[in-house]
């Protein structure tokens, strides 16, 4: 394996989902719904295939999807963007992140990353030769240590990569935090790459896109995807929204990474994004019910549950059960209890920082969530 990837292991999601299968455990690890996306979106995909929308798409997105993304972004943020010049469709948000980083970061540029972080960020930054500067968010509220951020920014800082609502903690960046980050970025001429794939799963506060704050649109790449919002994580349709001078870099990288994403799925994605408001309201309501079952259940089992404002994840402290660290706890949970969770130490620069925390997801049907809670009540 190439040196730039030597330190990275098989992703934790791959590891845990294969253990789930091996031990017949209930999988509350990898974040994928065990229910299907909406019929009207699936039908749109079938129709697109039948209608012959099956050859390469335009590299930066089929025109109808670029327009639907712009319409959605305007509804969500009030920002008006040019679908032809400021939107790039990618194969999931993971590719949007890769294209953004590879298209805009030079080897040696410093990029600031908040830990815990989704595992692909660090690997992608490493592929680009970026110098990663870490800032750790700490329980109970995982708030941003602004003074530390200030002192971490240097003349070599090219960008901050942030994720709100935040995987794995469920933290949402508050308006105050985003304002402080924004003014530091403007002052120091720093870009921001934001991963907002859980924006429709914002339960305890309103989601704020950093791009919508004064002075920020011109220095922000806003990324999102279809997977979480429409329970279609396997479709891998994502996008990056950025002003033309940044979109240029994103598109150059995207052109030579994947060139284009799946054509019929893009047409169906356009239909999805034009769903009536009621779709988004119901999605949130359904997830709120699932969240309540899991959170109350985990508390009843005896975990210390940290508050989660958004995403379909919740982080707990497993130490009441006496295992030495998060990995040992998750192994025990799979083998002896029959439930899968994700150890969080893999999301930190220093694995010690995550040793008390494990992540559960509630993107499963209510019966599955109850069954997992019952197993833990009985056997932990
Ligand atoms: N985003 C999903 C999670 O955090 C997993 C994606 C993946 O498997 N790489 O669970």
DSSP 352: G
Task: Tell me what pLDDT residue 174 has.
Answer: 98
Taking alpha carbons only, the member of 130, 119, 134, 161 closest to residue 8 is: 119
Per-residue pLDDT for 95 more than 90?
yes
Which of the listed residues 31, 166, 223, 343 should we mutate to test ligand 1's pocket, taking the one with most ligand atoms within 8 A of CB? 31
* Gap from CA of 315 to ligand 1 centroid (Å): 15
Q: Are 113 and 144 in contact (CB under 8 A)?
A: no
Strand partners, 112: 133, 160
* Gap from CA of 31 to ligand 1 centroid (Å): 5
Q: Which residues contact 365 (CB under 8 A, 6 or more apart)?
A: 34, 35
The binding-site residues of ligand 1, defined as CB within 6 angstroms of any ligand atom, are 11, 13, 30-31, 167
Task: Tell me what pLDDT residue 314 has.
Answer: 98
Please tell me the residue having the least CA distance from ligand 1 atom 8.
13
- Distance between CA 344 and CA 335 in Å, rounded? 18
Model confidence pLDDT, tens digit, residues 35-92: 999 999 999 999 999 999 999 999 999 999 999 999 999 999 999 999 999 999 999 9
Please tell me the residue having the least CA distance from ligand 1 atom 2.
31
- Distance between CA 344 and CA 354 in Å, rounded? 5
pLDDT band at 366 (very low <50, low <70, confident <90, very high): very high
- Distance between CA 310 and CA 329 in Å, rounded? 25
ipTM of the assembly? 0.92
- Distance between CA 305 and CA 296 in Å, rounded? 9
Strand partners, 132: 111
Residue spans of the domains in the chain: they are: 3-30+278-379, 39-273
Dihedrals φ, ψ of 14, to 5°? -65, -45
* Gap from CA of 237 to ligand 1 centroid (Å): 14
Task: Tell me what pLDDT residue 178 has.
Answer: 98
Beta-carbon count within 10 A of 46 CB: 11
Q: Which two tokens stand for residue 234?
A: 């396997």
* Burial of 364: CB neighbours in 10 Å, binned 0-12, 13-18, 19+: buried
Which one of 3.90.245.10, 3.40.640.10, 3.40.50.460, 3.40.920.10 gives the CATH number of domain 39-273? Answer: 3.40.640.10
Whether residue 278 has a cis bond before it, omega within 30° of 0: no
Per-residue pLDDT for 177 more than 90?
yes
Task: Tell me what pLDDT residue 131 has.
Answer: 98
Judged by phi (left if over 0) then psi (alpha if -120 to 50, else beta), residue 173 lies in beta
Distances (CA, A) of 283 to 102, 196, 215, 278, 290: 34, 17, 32, 8, 11
Kindly provide the residue ranges of all beta strands, DSSP E only, lying in the chain, ordered along the sequence: 26-27, 87-90, 110-115, 131-136, 157-163, 191-195, 220-225, 238-241, 304-305, 313-317, 339-340, 342-343, 357-361
User: Which architecture, in CATH terms, is 3-30+278-379?
Assistant: Alpha-Beta Complex (3.90)
- Distance between CA 51 and CA 264 in Å, rounded? 9
The percentage of the chain sitting over the pLDDT mark of 70, rounded to a whole number, equals: 100
Judged by phi (left if over 0) then psi (alpha if -120 to 50, else beta), residue 230 lies in alpha
Judged by phi (left if over 0) then psi (alpha if -120 to 50, else beta), residue 52 lies in left
The percentage of the chain sitting over the pLDDT mark of 90, rounded to a whole number, equals: 98
* Gap from CA of 87 to ligand 1 centroid (Å): 24
Q: Which two tokens stand for residue 200?
A: 């429709």
Q: Global pTM?
A: 0.97
Contacts 24+ apart (CB under 8 A), 254-260: 254/59, 254/60, 254/88, 254/90, 254/95, 254/99, 254/103, 255/59, 257/95, 257/98, 257/99, 257/102, 258/90, 258/91, 258/95, 259/56, 259/59, 260/56, 260/57, 260/58, 260/59, 260/89
Average pLDDT of the chain?
97
Report the half-sphere exposure of 49 (CA within 13 A, side-chain side): 7
Report, as an integer, the average pLDDT of 203-208: 97
- Distance between CA 268 and CA 228 in Å, rounded? 15
* Gap from CA of 225 to ligand 1 centroid (Å): 13
Q: Does residue 156 sit in helix, strand or coil?
A: coil
Model confidence pLDDT, tens digit, residues 223-249: 999 999 999 999 999 999 999 999 999
Model confidence pLDDT, tens digit, residues 250-286: 999 999 999 999 999 999 999 999 999 999 999 999 9
Residues in the chain: 380
Task: Tell me what pLDDT residue 9 has.
Answer: 85
């Amino acid at each position: 394996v190439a040196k730039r990837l030597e330190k990275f292991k098989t992703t934790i999601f791959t590891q845990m989902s294969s253990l789930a299968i091996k031990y017949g455990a209930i999988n509350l690890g990898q974040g994928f719904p065990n229910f299907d996306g909406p019929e009207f979106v699936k039908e749109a995909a079938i129709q697109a295939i039948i209608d012959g929308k099956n050859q390469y798409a335009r590299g930066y997105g089929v025109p109808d999807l670029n327009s639907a993304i712009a319409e959605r972004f305007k509804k969500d943020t009030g920002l008006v963007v040019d679908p032809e010049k400021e939107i790039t469709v990618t194969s999931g948000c993971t590719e949007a992140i890769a294209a953004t980083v590879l298209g805009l970061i030079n080897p040696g540029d410093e990029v600031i990353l908040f830990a815990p972080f989704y595992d692909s960020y660090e690997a992608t930054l490493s592929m680009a030769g970026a110098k990663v500067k870490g800032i750790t968010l700490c329980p109970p509220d995982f708030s941003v240590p602004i003074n530390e951020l200030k002192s971490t920014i240097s003349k070599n800082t090219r960008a901050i990569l942030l994720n709100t609502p935040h995987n794995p903690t469920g933290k949402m960046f508050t308006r105050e935090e985003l304002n402080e980050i924004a003014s530091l970025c403007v002052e120091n001429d720093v870009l921001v790459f934001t991963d907002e794939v859980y924006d429709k799963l914002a339960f305890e506060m309103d989601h704020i896109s950093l791009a919508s704050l004064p002075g920020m649109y011109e220095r922000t790449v806003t990324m999102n995807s279809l997977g979480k919002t429409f329970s279609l994580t396997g479709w891998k349709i994502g996008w990056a929204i950025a002003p033309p001078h940044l979109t240029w870099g994103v598109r150059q990288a995207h052109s030579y990474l994947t060139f284009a994403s799946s054509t019929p799925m893009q047409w169906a994605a356009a239909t999805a994004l034009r769903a009536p408001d009621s779709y988004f309201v119901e999605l949130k309501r359904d997830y709120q019910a699932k969240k309540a079952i899991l959170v109350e259940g985990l508390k009843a089992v005896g975990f210390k549950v940290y508050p989660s404002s958004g995403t379909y994840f919740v982080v707990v402290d497993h130490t009441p059960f006496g295992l030495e660290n998060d990995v040992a706890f998750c192994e025990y949970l799979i083998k002896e209890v029959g439930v899968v969770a994700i150890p969080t130490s893999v999301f930190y620069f220093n694995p010690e920082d995550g040793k008390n925390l494990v992540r559960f997801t509630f993107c499963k049907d209510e019966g599955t969530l109850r069954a997992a809670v019952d197993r833990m009540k009985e056997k932990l």
